[in-house]
Structure formats: C-alpha cells, structure tokens
C-alpha cells in the first residue's frame, strides 16, 4: 500500500500561490496521484490527477517529478474560499490532509 505524507497545515494570504507537497515513496507503477479538496461537513471534491510530469486544469496544477515519489499541488492566487483541507490520494488511500487557511 502506498503511504502518503503531507504537511498538517499551511497558512497563506489572498492572491498568493500555494504549493502543497505530498510524498509517496512506495508508489506503485500503475498508481495515479489524485488531489481532493474537502470543506467542513462535505464530501471530498476532485481537484486534479496526474501520472507524471505536469498537469494543469482550470483550478490547479500538479507537478510530479520523474521518480514519482512526491507530487506538488499548486493553487494559483488563492482566495478566502480556498480555505479547506487538501488530500493527496494514492492507491485508494487518502493522506492525512493539509489544512490550508487563507487569510485576507
């Protein structure tokens, strides 16, 4: 089973770029890396997914180095509404989550 490690919490200010890194040292060859966002009292919501290199969509970018042992979720120009818990998800397992707090 792939075990993931990510920071417990991060603080940022509106308009800044936020990067959250997850390590997954024993990721399997066929595992994708997925990130979810969760607001209080809601189910997780898909943000982005990748296998290698860089993936970008309308809300985030995901950077995955060649060895795939880590991944970095990048949120450009965060707003107050981005305050949430962000989970790295590998091999059907969620990480412990990173609580992002965006301040005005």
The site for other proteins (CB under 8 A) is made up of 32, 34, 38, 41-46, 49, 87, 89, 92-97
Q: Are strands 9-13 and 61-64 parallel, antiparallel or unpaired?
A: unpaired
Based on CB atoms, which residue is closest to other proteins, 16 or 26?
26
If you count them, how many residues does the chain have?
Answer: 104
Element (H, E) at 9: strand 9-13
Query: Among residues 12, 37, 38, 35, which one has the least CA distance to residue 24?
Result: 35
Least CB distance from residue 42 to other proteins, whole Å?
6
Angle at alpha carbon of residue 22, lines to 91 and 53, rounded to 5°: 80
Least CB distance from residue 104 to other proteins, whole Å?
26
Based on CB atoms, which residue is closest to other proteins, 44 or 84?
44
Least CB distance from residue 98 to other proteins, whole Å?
11
Based on CB atoms, which residue is closest to other proteins, 16 or 53?
53
């Amino acid at each position: 089973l792939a075990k993931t490690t990510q920071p417990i919490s991060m603080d940022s200010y509106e308009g800044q770029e936020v990067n959250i890194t997850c390590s997954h040292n024993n990721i399997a060859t066929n595992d994708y890396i997925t990130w979810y966002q969760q607001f209080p009292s809601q189910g997780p919501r898909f943000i982005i997914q990748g296998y290698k290199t860089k993936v970008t969509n309308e809300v985030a970018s995901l950077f995955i180095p060649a060895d795939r042992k880590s991944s970095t979720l990048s949120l450009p120009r965060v707003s107050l509404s981005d305050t949430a818990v962000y989970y790295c998800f590998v091999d059907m397992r969620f990480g412990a989550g990173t609580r992002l707090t965006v301040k005005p």
